[in-house]
Structure 1
């Protein structure tokens, strides 16, 4: 995914987490020439409610921004990306891993 975000805008993505996975990992990066600052929030079961109801957070200050949940619950997880500054584009990858 490579969306654009305006400052203070939020986009939420719904993710299916299969049973038996050992880790849910969300990685956000920016390619050369992309700009802007953003935060990533992940929550299982329902959409993140910033700042208190999140299971994991990461931000673009240290790229790649990686959020990992160990032994995730099978079902829905939600990834929210919040623009802190105008973001020209970012790359978002979600992996449900067996290790």
Structure 2
């Protein structure tokens, strides 16, 4: 999915995590030539409550920004993106992996 974010905005996405997966991986990248800083938070079971109630964090200082949760619980996971500055084009990819 691709989205744009305004400075200081937060967007939360709900993800279904199937049983038997070994890793939940969320990858965020900006389109080539685009600017803007963001933070990525992932939490299982309920939406992230920053800064303390998160299972994984990453930010735009190194791209792609990647959050991985090993042996995720089969349930809901929540991905929150927080824009530190305006982000015109942000791509998110969520993978539930068997390895």
**TM-score bin, normalised by smaller chain:** over 0.9
**Equivalent residue number for residue 74 of structure 2:** 74
Structure 1 portions without partners, runs of 5+: none
Structure 1 runs, 4 residues or longer, greater than 4 Å off: none
**Equivalent residue number for residue 56 of structure 2:** 56
- Report the alpha carbon displacement of residue 34 of structure 1 after superposing the two structures with TM: 1.5
More strand per residue: 1 or 2? 2
Is 1:39 the counterpart of 2:39? The answer is yes
How many aligned positions are there?
Answer: 99
Give the Cα separation in 2 of the matches to 1:56 and 1:23: 12
Q: TM-score, normalised by structure 2?
A: 0.98
C-alpha RMSD over aligned residues: 0.5
- Report the alpha carbon displacement of residue 33 of structure 1 after superposing the two structures with TM: 1.8
